[in-house]
Structure 1
Amino acid sequence: MTDHSGSGSDAGRILRDALGVVLSALPDDTPIAIAYSGGLDSSVLLDAAVRAAGARRLFAFHVHHGLSPNADTWLAHCEATARAYGVRFEARRVDVAPDDAAGVEAAARDARYRALEAMCAAHGVQSLWLAQHADDQAETVLLQLLRGAGLAGLAAMAPAREVAGGVTRVRPLLGLLRAQLERYAHAFDLRWIEDESNADTRYARNALRHDVMPALSAHFPGFREALSRTAAHAASAQGLLDELARGDLLAAGATTPEALSHAALLALDDARALNLLRYWMRSLGMVAASTARLADALRQLREIARDGESHALRVDHAGRTLRCYRGEVFWDAAASATTMQIQGDGPRREPVQLNWRGEEVWRLPHWRGTYVFAPADSSDPDAMPETVLRRAPLVAREREGGERLRDEAANLSRTLKNLFQSRGVPAWERDVPLLYSGETLLFVPRIGVNRSALGEQLSALGSASADPWRRIEWREDLQIA
């Protein structure tokens, strides 16, 4: 792959200068990964990176989406090209549902980044180079404008961005036009693949590229540079908003980094409170919510502050549920309709019975969880003798209200409601199966063993305390977002 002309020298110098800026900020031994699809843009980036940084520092990572009948051919081309350069190569296959609710473009993009992150982690790569250029940036700004995005959306793609818990994503070609990359590819006789889906104008980005951009070029030749400046201005303004939000987040801090003070949040005006909510959600790694959803969340938070009914809060987003408890606002794993029901509402669950014969696991699908009976020492406060578990059928049943348990520390009998409140268990986490031995309450999840009832049974059993003991645990199913 040789420079054949003066125009090739010019194209090579432009790419060399662009990559030189990025390389100057990296230690000489930093491994670099190229996101290599095999298309023109990533082929130019890979070739220029080999010339500028050397093949020994590079990895070429390819993501096989399986959306095209030619995907296997593209994979073979990419692997052969990387080997010819002497660049280490790896590919990952991902599944993208054509009917994904987020749209094929968004689903494929998310799957691609997850696969690239996984390959970077596997090889200890800290710098991932992506081949987006100035035309891509202009398309992104236009798409965000048409979607009514805020400043964060208009800021489009950053030249470099650190991802929380991931690798730094770098776009060395963001200041270059696609035409400049084409000149480079032809000057150095590069071979690349053409993705047939790029011609499908049912996809929004393709429609812009084929139908809108040529018209803009004819009437506004400098629109790409103008839109890039717009993105830069938006990024600068968003940076100032983020700085304001960081201060507000510190002021609204709660007992854990994942929570906000309800009162401190509501002390802000709407615009500032919404800015804080956006920044807070980004800091938690959550996907952005629409303006309408955030406005509704803030409205509900103000309403429950007036009414005092925190369980009335109903905001779900990205597999999580917004909660407010004891003056703190936080995102909780979204619960199923079963676990969300308030005591006394909805259909009741029938009691479930087990004649215990040494089982370590008792699955209760209606409560989406499992009782575990693990071997334990008699000193364990949540353990009891096996004889107690065998003496009568074990029964899991719903709370009916009025159940009482002896508070050993206070030396008095208290209702479960009072015990839950004193231990800071919010209302939506109190829908748990109570464990009985016959008619005797033995164990309450989030509270523990009913020691007074256990004492009565031990007295009745005489030498039962010498038996093997089992620790009782209630384990909820994992909620997959």
Structure 2
Amino acid sequence: MTSTADTPADRLVLEAVGFSLSTSPANSRIAIAFSGGVDSSVLLDAAVRVAGASRCIALHVHHGLSAHADAWLAHCEAFALERGVEFAAQRVEVSCDAGVSVEAAARDARYRALDGMCASRDIATLWLAQHADDQAETVLLQLLRGAGLAGLAAMAPEYLPAGASATRVRPLLHLLRAQLEQYASERALRWIDDESNADTRYARNALRHEVAPALAVHFPGFRDALARTAAHAASAQRLLDALARIDMGEASRDEGRALSHDALLALGDDRALNLMRYWMRTLGLVAASSARLGDALRQLREIGAAGEGHGLRIDHAGHALRSYRGLVYWETGDSSEPADETALAARAVSELAWQGESIWRLPQWRGTFIFVDASAAAGDSGTIPAGVLQRAVLSARSRSGGERMRTSEARNAPSRTLKNLFQERGIPAWKRDVPLLYIGDDLLFVPLLGVNRAVLPDQVDEGESRVKIIWREDLLIA
């Protein structure tokens, strides 16, 4: 569906939206991040005019940070329904890790929710309503913070973040806020004014209300100039990322979750720091300051590749940088706790009265227990008599510390702590966050370690069916 453009603002907006639509697969659905403000209201209205209501879905995230959040939700739903557009909303709780601002936490929660709503609807394109003024403010903020090239590159017109299901597209990025407001006025749109946008205690608002107007008087083309700066920075950053991917090929371990200590230290400081920044982005971690990364690299060089690195203490945004058996990795938690006994967030206990099920899905653990008929492998020490699985309720629990098990078949062999067994097998700390499988009150099975032989019967019925338990993380499920 198309619409005739009657004014310059109308024409500019529709052309920008039409261009973005032309880069999307034919007849694919488009999700619009819809806060209800003037920018996203213009984007949604124009998307309906250009693409048709049936191709659009408006996605709203309810943060609960404002007393008006419920009213905004109702407004957004009514705005979408007036245009015949499907509407979906999700409520999120904004919680801040150490060193993360409320604004950053809210932004991360919003994007996670938007991406989740897109994934559940098989939508591959998410449109965002940022514009040229937003881009200029972002570049200025990054300059004032002393950001590197990745920060100065600001917002890309189109990109697919690591781990996201939907490509994020900004159709309005080259248009000015004044042009969007002109469009909204001409179309008689109703929108929300978030009261927090006027609070100049926030750095972005101070730039918008106090700095940008003064710049516009003395440097009328400052927005275009800053947009060019962002484009130059983005080009340079792509070259650095290409170099980092080459280095990742040498240093990456465990599918990118860790780096080889040797390979990292073989690089010069600039190249090593570039690799660390790129690696953190692939892990979805908040960017660290140059000072913090520099301190991390200094400590890594001091302990040496052969060192265990237990003294390494680099905390960042709810994670701690660790070095263990030649690997460098980020571990959830504060480094003031020992690396191999980091307290894990307790998950809700799940229970199953096993009656021959082949799979037991555990969403909170992002994985599945698989029960395989192994009767033909009765001599396999990793199998369990089916009767054992039925003698009590199975439960999946978090580690609490101090758990013990016996992996040896010898009846008089001592039990050992999970901590010691994990260390002996060289299993790094980030892999130890696994569900412990209990039968009643007895520990039965630990992923990566196997069956607790202490709870198996002394006498084995050769005719009894046997089961092998396998733990599969979500990424490994076919």
Same fold (TM over 0.5): yes
Deviation at 1:45, TM superposition (A): 0.9
Separation in 1 of the partners of 2:273 and 2:409?
43
Separation in 2 of the partners of 1:418 and 1:193?
58
Structure 1 residues 405 and 11, CA, compared in 2 at 3 Å: closer, same or farther? closer
Separation in 2 of the partners of 1:103 and 1:454?
49
Partner of 1:189: 188
Q: 1:148 aligns with which of 132, 146, 149?
A: 146
Q: AA paired with 1:424?
A: G
Q: 1:19 aligns with which of 17, 20, 26?
A: 17
Map Cα deviations across residues 56-114 of structure 1 (whole Å, 9 max, x no partner): 10011122222223222222222112111111111222233699862232222122212
Structure 1 residues 104 and 420, CA, compared in 2 at 3 Å: closer, same or farther? closer
**SS in structure 2 opposite 1:310?**
coil
Deviation at 1:308, TM superposition (A): 2.8
Counterparts in 2 of 1:106-117, with a 5 A limit? 106-117=104-115
**SS in structure 2 opposite 1:56?**
helix
Structure 1 residues 258 and 12, CA, compared in 2 at 3 Å: closer, same or farther? same
Aligned residues: 412
Structure 1 residues 397 and 212, CA, compared in 2 at 3 Å: closer, same or farther? closer
Separation in 2 of the partners of 1:162 and 1:466?
56
Structure 1 residues 454 and 93, CA, compared in 2 at 3 Å: closer, same or farther? closer
Contact 2:313 2:335 in 1 (8 A): no
Contact 2:98 2:317 in 1 (8 A): no
Contact 2:130 2:170 in 1 (8 A): yes
Partner of 1:351: none
Structure 1 residues 226 and 301, CA, compared in 2 at 3 Å: closer, same or farther? same
Deviation at 1:324, TM superposition (A): 2.9
**SS in structure 2 opposite 1:201?**
coil
Deviation at 1:186, TM superposition (A): 1.7
Counterparts in 2 of 1:262-301, with a 5 A limit? 262-301=261-300
Q: AA paired with 2:267?
A: L
Q: After superposing the two structures, state which structure 1 stretch, 417-426 or 152-161, moved more.
A: 417-426
Deviation at 1:428, TM superposition (A): 10
Separation in 2 of the partners of 1:273 and 1:47?
47
Partner of 2:225: 226
Q: After superposing the two structures, state which structure 1 stretch, 155-164 or 96-105, moved more.
A: 96-105
Deviation at 1:423, TM superposition (A): 3.3
Separation in 2 of the partners of 1:227 and 1:134?
9
Partner of 2:381: 381
Structure 1 residues 407 and 270, CA, compared in 2 at 3 Å: closer, same or farther? farther
Q: After superposing the two structures, state which structure 1 stretch, 330-339 or 77-86, moved more.
A: 330-339
Contact 1:274 1:298 in 2 (8 A): yes
**SS in structure 2 opposite 1:285?**
coil
Partner of 2:122: 124
**SS in structure 2 opposite 1:63?**
strand
Partner of 2:63: 65
Structure 1 residues 398 and 177, CA, compared in 2 at 3 Å: closer, same or farther? closer
Separation in 1 of the partners of 2:110 and 2:295?
32
Separation in 1 of the partners of 2:468 and 2:120?
39
Separation in 2 of the partners of 1:66 and 1:11?
34
Q: AA paired with 1:129?
A: W
Separation in 2 of the partners of 1:135 and 1:23?
22
Contact 1:339 1:428 in 2 (8 A): no
Structure 1 residues 90 and 341, CA, compared in 2 at 3 Å: closer, same or farther? closer
Contact 1:100 1:107 in 2 (8 A): no
Bigger radius of gyration:
1
Deviation at 1:153, TM superposition (A): 0.7
Structure 1 residues 239 and 254, CA, compared in 2 at 3 Å: closer, same or farther? same
Separation in 2 of the partners of 1:443 and 1:136?
53
Q: AA paired with 2:259?
A: L
Q: After superposing the two structures, state which structure 1 stretch, 90-99 or 378-387, moved more.
A: 378-387
Q: AA paired with 1:219?
A: H
Map Cα deviations across residues 213-248 of structure 1 (whole Å, 9 max, x no partner): 111111111111111111111111111110111111
Contact 1:128 1:169 in 2 (8 A): yes
Structure 1 residues 94 and 425, CA, compared in 2 at 3 Å: closer, same or farther? closer
Separation in 1 of the partners of 2:422 and 2:72?
59
Q: AA paired with 2:131?
A: H
Contact 1:340 1:428 in 2 (8 A): no
Deviation at 1:263, TM superposition (A): 1.6
Map Cα deviations across residues 415-456 of structure 1 (whole Å, 9 max, x no partner): 9999877633469999xxxxxxxxxxx9999766898x999x
Structure 1 residues 42 and 405, CA, compared in 2 at 3 Å: closer, same or farther? closer
Partner of 1:247: 246
Separation in 2 of the partners of 1:425 and 1:267?
24
Counterparts in 2 of 1:36-435, with a 5 A limit? 36-96=34-94, 102-164=100-162, 165-254=164-253, 256-305=255-304, 308-334=307-333, 340=339, 379=379, 381=381, 423-425=425-427
Contact 2:251 2:260 in 1 (8 A): yes
Separation in 2 of the partners of 1:123 and 1:444?
35
Q: After superposing the two structures, state which structure 1 stretch, 292-301 or 101-110, moved more.
A: 101-110
What TM-score results when the alignment is normalised by the length of structure 1? 0.72
Separation in 2 of the partners of 1:9 and 1:407?
82
Separation in 2 of the partners of 1:397 and 1:267?
37
Structure 1 residues 341 and 420, CA, compared in 2 at 3 Å: closer, same or farther? closer
Tell me how large the CA RMSD over aligned residues is: 4.4
Deviation at 1:315, TM superposition (A): 2.8
Separation in 1 of the partners of 2:236 and 2:18?
28
Structure 1 residues 158 and 329, CA, compared in 2 at 3 Å: closer, same or farther? same
**SS in structure 2 opposite 1:37?**
coil
**SS in structure 1 opposite 2:201?**
coil
Structure 1 residues 469 and 233, CA, compared in 2 at 3 Å: closer, same or farther? same
Deviation at 1:281, TM superposition (A): 1.6
Percent identity of equivalent pairs: 62
Separation in 1 of the partners of 2:468 and 2:242?
48
Structure 1 residues 233 and 84, CA, compared in 2 at 3 Å: closer, same or farther? same
Q: After superposing the two structures, state which structure 1 stretch, 309-318 or 30-39, moved more.
A: 309-318
Separation in 2 of the partners of 1:159 and 1:429?
37
**SS in structure 2 opposite 1:108?**
helix
What TM-score results when the alignment is normalised by the length of structure 2? 0.73
Structure 1 residues 180 and 298, CA, compared in 2 at 3 Å: closer, same or farther? same
**SS in structure 1 opposite 2:301?**
helix
**SS in structure 2 opposite 1:96?**
coil
Mark the runs of 5 or more structure 1 residues left unpaired by the alignment: 343-373, 388-395, 431-441, 459-463, 476-481
Q: After superposing the two structures, state which structure 1 stretch, 53-62 or 377-386, moved more.
A: 377-386
Map Cα deviations across residues 195-228 of structure 1 (whole Å, 9 max, x no partner): 2221111111111111111111111111111111
Map Cα deviations across residues 308-357 of structure 1 (whole Å, 9 max, x no partner): 34333333334443333343323344478665479xxxxxxxxxxxxxxx
Deviation at 1:286, TM superposition (A): 2.2
